[in-house]
Structure 1
Amino acid sequence: MLLEQRGMELCQLQSENSNNKAKKNRRRSKKSTPSIVQLLYQTCKEVFANGGAGVIPSPQDVERVRFVLDSLKPEDVGLTQDMPYFKEIEKKGTPRIAYLHVYECDKFSIGIFCLPPSGVIPLHNHPGMTVFSKLLFGSMHIKSYDWVTNAPQITQENLKDSQMLAVQPPGTRLAKVNTDSVFTAPNTSILYPAAGGNMHCFTAMTSCAVLDVLGPPYSDKEGRHCMYYRDVRCASISGDAVPLPLPLPVNERENYAWLEEKEKPQNFVVVGALYRGPQVIEE
């Protein structure tokens, strides 16, 4: 009996030790599992390691970043739609935009823009950057442009029809519309230094949040300034306007616009807010 009792006690002790080890392993496993924000940081660190202005990641690396962003949800970055950033305040003018700083280094940056209904991020550029924008929730209208760099030359045949010519207002540059649509979350879009809609404008149809990854980030020191633009629709020749040597058929004219640099709009106000999601641990 004593031997049997001793044996039972040893079995119980071994079982308890096994359970304790299993619990410790589970706790250790939980501690070692990075947040999706940390995973995004690690992925961007690798993807943009050798990057710089005008350097586009490989298609495989672009998909790596997109895959992480596609999996990211508002709660992963500490956001809920009832936060004050997203509430509509009755007052004249464009509502303020809140910006949550997640991480930035000289290779890339991660941040979140929080827009109340009717919030607008005006038309601006991303010089030399590859940009990933993840719409976390809500819906927004996006209008984007790319510069026209390979315009067809004017010919004698085109000269015969003045309506085929676009008129260039002074101080402008021709751009072609890339996107002009309403997007609903979840949605990840990508733009490149010279394609994909490098210059874009966001207008919130509902309260919404968009997470941006910029590679590389803006840098006044390195000449990557954020420029703002006013878009002017293409028109036919009239008055003293000087025609640009570019044939634009009437049915395609709405796909082009003249962009004019302008100062940052006074009614565009971005305020910094506290990021409440998982913190990035630099490695």
Structure 2
Amino acid sequence: MPAIKRLHKACKNSFSANGPASEEALEQVRTLLDKIKPADVGLEQEAQLVRIWTASTQGPNGRRGRNGQYLPPIKYLHIHESESFSIGIFCMPPSSIIPLHNHPGMTVLSKLLYGTIHVKSYDWIDVGEPSEPSKPSSEVTTTRPAKLVKDGQMSAPCATTVLYPTNGGNIHYFKAVTPCALFDILSPPYSSDQGRHCSYFKKSPKKDVIGALPSGIEASEVTWLEECQPPDSFVIRRGLYKGPVVNT
């Protein structure tokens, strides 16, 4: 059985509409995802090209941004989606960005298949008080305090990362340093009907912390994040998945 089919089968057995059945079930999926290689999902040629990639060989090929520069589009390769989980791959050209966004009520497994990516992630800080509106007008935007979880580069091959609904870096940002591919499993998947819609964020001006901070967190570690619209330059296009079909 192809590796991607084994992974899909494990996901069916491990995930429900409420997320992972248990930590043990989640670990089974993580172990299989750790073993997935570009060739298992039809991306061996793209991975080979990264090994000879240099910034000087790459021209702009994306949508024109506000500053007049062309920003590379991102391709999403859809593999599977059910009410319990979704599987897909984001193929990111160099310098492309997935803005800071969240995964409400979701557990996410991510595996960098090839390339180098910069990751910045946060978790919300529970201060025991209602969030503060950043604007007193009719266009009220929620601003919440968050703590930095990760800010650094990852290069393939590397281990699968897991983020949980309330910890592990549930709000995160990606910037491709080289061409790269990020394999994602979400459980349960995004669903506006179920209140799991993707929101985007940006840093807000520093504010005083509301309420008492949890133990181990200093005021200097708090970043305020404000919900916003994604930039016009953010483009994701549907790509063609060339790997084995999983749900047959």
TM-score by length of 2: 0.81
2:60 maps to 90
Q: Residues 182, 255 of structure 1: CA spacing in aligned structure 2 closer, same or farther, 3 A cutoff? A: farther
- Distance in 2 between the 1:148 and 1:186 partners? 32
Matched to 1:209, the amino acid is A
2:173 to 181, 185, 201: 201
Matched to 1:214, the amino acid is L
- Distance in 2 between the 1:223 and 1:46 partners? 24
1:189 maps to 161
Superposition deviation, residue 281 in structure 1:
2.7
Specify every segment of 5 or more residues in structure 1 that has no aligned partner in the other structure, as ranges. Answer: 1-33, 153-166, 238-242
Q: Residues 267, 200 of structure 1: CA spacing in aligned structure 2 closer, same or farther, 3 A cutoff? A: same
Determine whether 1:175 maps to 2:108: no
Determine whether 1:100 maps to 2:71: no
- Distance in 2 between the 1:57 and 1:144 partners? 25
Superposition deviation, residue 169 in structure 1:
4.6
CA contact (8 A) 2:100 2:172 kept: yes
For 2:59, what is the secondary structure of its paired residue?
coil
Determine whether 1:279 maps to 2:242: no
1:66 maps to 30
State the number of aligned residues.
Answer: 222
Matched to 2:32, the amino acid is V
Matched to 2:11, the amino acid is C
2:65 maps to none
- Distance in 1 between the 2:238 and 2:155 partners? 25
Percent of residue pairs bearing the same amino acid type = 44
1:227 maps to 199
Determine whether 1:77 maps to 2:37: no
Q: Residues 184, 151 of structure 1: CA spacing in aligned structure 2 closer, same or farther, 3 A cutoff? A: farther
Superposition deviation, residue 280 in structure 1:
0.8
Superposition deviation, residue 266 in structure 1:
1.2
- Distance in 2 between the 1:35 and 1:204 partners? 28
2:66 maps to none
**What root-mean-square deviation, in Å, do the aligned CA atoms of Structure 1 and Structure 2 show?**
2.6
Structure whose residues are more often helix by fraction: 1
CA contact (8 A) 2:79 2:241 kept: yes
Q: Residues 247, 128 of structure 1: CA spacing in aligned structure 2 closer, same or farther, 3 A cutoff? A: closer
User: CA deviation digits over 1:142-179, x for unaligned, max 9?
Assistant: 11111101469xxxxxxxxxxxxxx9954311011111
Matched to 1:124, the amino acid is H
- Distance in 1 between the 2:60 and 2:77 partners? 23
CA contact (8 A) 1:96 1:270 kept: yes
TM-score by length of 1: 0.71
- Distance in 2 between the 1:57 and 1:147 partners? 24
2:93 maps to 116
CA contact (8 A) 1:51 1:57 kept: no
Matched to 2:12, the amino acid is K
Instruction: Write out aligned runs for 1:1-283 (5 A).
Output: 34-48=1-15, 50-52=16-18, 55-79=19-43, 80-81=45-46, 82=49, 88-90=58-60, 92-150=69-127, 169-170=134-135, 171-187=142-158, 188-232=160-204, 234=206, 244-246=210-212, 252=218, 255-282=221-248
2:64 maps to none
1:27 maps to none
For 1:149, what is the secondary structure of its paired residue?
coil
Matched to 1:90, the amino acid is P
For 1:46, what is the secondary structure of its paired residue?
helix
CA contact (8 A) 1:99 1:270 kept: yes
